[in-house]
Chains A and B, each alone.
Chain A
Amino acid sequence: MKKIVVLLLTIFVCLCVQAQNNDNQRYLLTTKSSTFGVGLSDIIDPYLSPLVYSGVGLNYNLDTRRFLSDKNTNYSMQSTLALSGDFLLNPALSSEMIYLGINYGWGLNYHFRLNKNLKILAGGLWDIDFGFKNVSRNINNPVNLDMSTNLNLTGLLMYDWVLRKRTLHFQAKLQSPLIGCMFVPFGGASYYDMFEVGNLDQSFHFSSIHNKQGLNQTYTVDVPFYRSTWRFGLNIQSLKYKANDLVFKQDGMSLIVGTTFDDISFGGRKKLAPQNFISTNE
């Protein structure tokens, strides 16, 4: 009997140690937030028109963030994908503009932990931006393209407000272009001249805060519900840039709603899933 008890105790201890080993294993989670927004926007594109076009827009944002490694939780990497579409009218309502845009960015942030509930992330984000603007009634200048790449400064303030039943996660995110390159045509050049004849001289410009200024502000609150965490917020964008004597401006404000969740991915030879994780591939 004594032997049996010792044997059972040994097995129990071994299992506990094994379980403890699994508990010590750290996995990097990826925080993914996808949001949809609807709002108002104003665009001035003097290549197309000197007037302010105003209208409504829809946008979609996918934001993912994870730490660089499980040993260093001071740095996180971030990738963003933004899609937007606007329908705008000139002040006299005699002409319409369609705007379609896509932006992809990748960046790094350093985490300053000010206290248990408050932290600041600061860093940089390199992005590629492509926009298509169309004023169909224009003659020989119906389209203008926004093409640019920028290194942006990013800052993110996070605060967790602990309530009795749930914790609300507040975020204030700021992003501003710092340095980059952009395509801006001359006001008097047609796209025939630029792209069929090849007269592209001085259409690509170095950009920095002297000729390109913008601030993208996003204020959100993440509210955990029974099975998911929902994000609600406000996005305010302001961008102004100048080249070839033309001043372009794009302002927008939208209400956003979406979800945010943490996920973990396993794959390849090194990142195998633990036994207690069940994959649909099995």
Chain B
Amino acid sequence: MKKYIYILLLLVALLPSCIEEPAQQPNTFKGNFESLWKIIDTKYCYLDYKHINWDSIYIVYKQRVDTVKNQYAFFDLMGNMLGELKDGHVNLYSDFDQSHYWKWFTDFDPNFSSTLIFNSRYLGTDYRSAGGFRYKKINNGKVGYMYYDDFSDRFSDTNIAYIFKSFSDCEGIIIDVRDNGGGYLDSAEQLASYFFTEETVTGYISYKTSVGHSDFSKPVQITTPSHNTIQWARPVVVLTNRKSFSATNNFVCRMKLAPKATIVGDMTGGGGGMPLSSELPNGWLVRFSAEPMYDVNMNHIEWGIEPDVNDSLKVVDQANGYDTIIEKAIQIISQ
């Protein structure tokens, strides 16, 4: 018996050395560069999809790290390296700055003007506001118009019930999510659920299972439920532009399959990867796309979603106080 106890004690003493811990990078420019490069190399989900040669980027930027003189220059260099990913969900956060990639909307027409939607033809100044929605009946009371600019603004079923009640005599409603940069995914699901008559598979999601660039789990269905008590059964038009990003992109992906929904405007900005975050030895935070999401046909939605009806703001209309895209939506509802 004593022999076995000794063997067990010996095993307990020796075994902790069997699990190897990953090495911690030092808090130097080189150590932070190595750490950031590795986080993206092992966790970022679109390297293969976007045909990015991350090893080449390592070589290019490693040489530049040696020339960096201060933390501001180092931050800018790392921000530029992350910019190679062309992803609005990738940011570097320090105590003095935040890096951005904005070309997903700056390279395109805005197709939205807040001045226009707040003129008297649309929201004006006498609109109502509930749960982040600004809403009002337009087009002589025939169309309900809701502007929602942030999926981080939580809304309740009661908010929506009141809004729908105020639009009860309208022929249809417009949900304007232009310039909505995203927020909570569950809010996107909740808003979409008011327009589905039954639970519907509206997309897929997978996650990385290992360090390889294409090591993903089997995609799992994302469903959009039908809300139990609140339903909008008449036409609904969703307005989009290139700044409809992230959770808004996800909302549009769901609404593409809603029975009486039409997507009008410009292509969405994308942001189809669910972002996670990690840290560098110097304490900077890095956000990156980690889980690719797909539409119902297993197409990536990272670059955005095409509208059903493509339209853009016309200069002449703007000059006359008209929002071309809202007018198009009114026309679709009135048909």
Contact A92 B27 (CB under 8 A): yes
We find that the number of chain A residues with CB closer than 8 angstroms to chain B is 49
Interface flag for B291 (CB, 8 Å)? yes
In the complex, which residues of chain B have a beta carbon less than 8 angstroms from the beta carbon of A249?
21
User: Residue among A49, A51, A201 with the most chain B CB within 10 A?
Assistant: A51
Contact A51 B281 (CB under 8 A): yes
In the complex, which residues of chain B have a beta carbon less than 8 angstroms from the beta carbon of A138?
276-277, 285
Interface flag for A167 (CB, 8 Å)? no
B54 to chain A, nearest CB (A): 16
Out of A49, A187, A238, name the residue touching B43 (CB < 8 Å): A187
A residues 79-93 near B (Cβ < 8 Å) are: 90-93
Contact A188 B8 (CB under 8 A): no
A residues 235-254 near B (Cβ < 8 Å) are: 238, 240-242, 244-245, 247, 249
Contact B19 A190 (CB under 8 A): no
A158 to chain B, nearest CB (A): 15
Stretch at the interface among B130-138, B201-209, B237-245, B262-270: B201-209
| B 282-299 binary contact with A (CB < 8 Å = 1; else 0) | 111101001100000000
Contact B291 A247 (CB under 8 A): no
Q: How far is the CA of A211 from the CA of B18 in the complex (A)?
A: 9
Stretch at the interface among A61-69, A98-106, A191-199, A218-226: A191-199
We find that the number of chain B residues with CB closer than 8 angstroms to chain A is 48
B122 to chain A, nearest CB (A): 34
Q: How far is the CA of A174 from the CA of B220 in the complex (A)?
A: 44
* 14 A-B contact pairs sorted by A residue (CB < 8 Å): A49-B278, A50-B39, A50-B279, A94-B285, A95-B283, A122-B5, A176-B12, A190-B274, A190-B291, A193-B274, A202-B209, A240-B16, A241-B19, A247-B20
Q: How far is the CA of A44 from the CA of B22 in the complex (A)?
A: 10
Contact A90 B207 (CB under 8 A): no
In the complex, which residues of chain B have a beta carbon less than 8 angstroms from the beta carbon of A186?
207-209, 217
A192 to chain B, nearest CB (A): 6
B contacts, CB < 8 Å to A: 5, 8-9, 11-13, 15-16, 18-22, 24, 27, 35, 39, 43, 45, 95, 185-186, 205-211, 217-218, 220-222, 274-279, 281-285, 287, 290-291
Contact A197 B281 (CB under 8 A): no
A residues 174-216 near B (Cβ < 8 Å) are: 174, 176, 186-190, 192-193, 196-199, 201-202, 209-211, 213-215
Q: Given A44-B21, A199-B207, 12 more contacts at CB 8 Å?
A: A49-B278, A92-B281, A94-B284, A140-B275, A140-B277, A188-B43, A188-B207, A197-B205, A197-B221, A199-B217, A201-B217, A209-B15
B221, closest chain A residue (CB): A197
| Chain B contact residues: helix, strand, loop or mixed | mixed
Contact A51 B220 (CB under 8 A): no
B222, closest chain A residue (CB): A197
In the complex, which residues of chain B have a beta carbon less than 8 angstroms from the beta carbon of A210?
18
Interface flag for A258 (CB, 8 Å)? no
A120, closest chain B residue (CB): B5
In the complex, which residues of chain A have a beta carbon less than 8 angstroms from the beta carbon of B290?
140, 188-190
Using known A-B contacts A94-B283, A139-B276, A247-B22, determine if residue A192 contacts B95 with beta carbons closer than 8 Å. Answer: no
Out of B15, B22, B39, B207, name the residue touching A189 (CB < 8 Å): B207
Contact B18 A213 (CB under 8 A): yes
Interface flag for A46 (CB, 8 Å)? yes
Q: How far is the CA of A140 from the CA of B275 in the complex (A)?
A: 7
Using known A-B contacts A46-B22, A155-B9, determine if residue A190 contacts B283 with beta carbons closer than 8 Å. Answer: no
The 7 closest A-B pairs by CB, nearest first: A92-B283, A94-B283, A188-B208, A189-B207, A139-B277, A199-B220, A188-B207
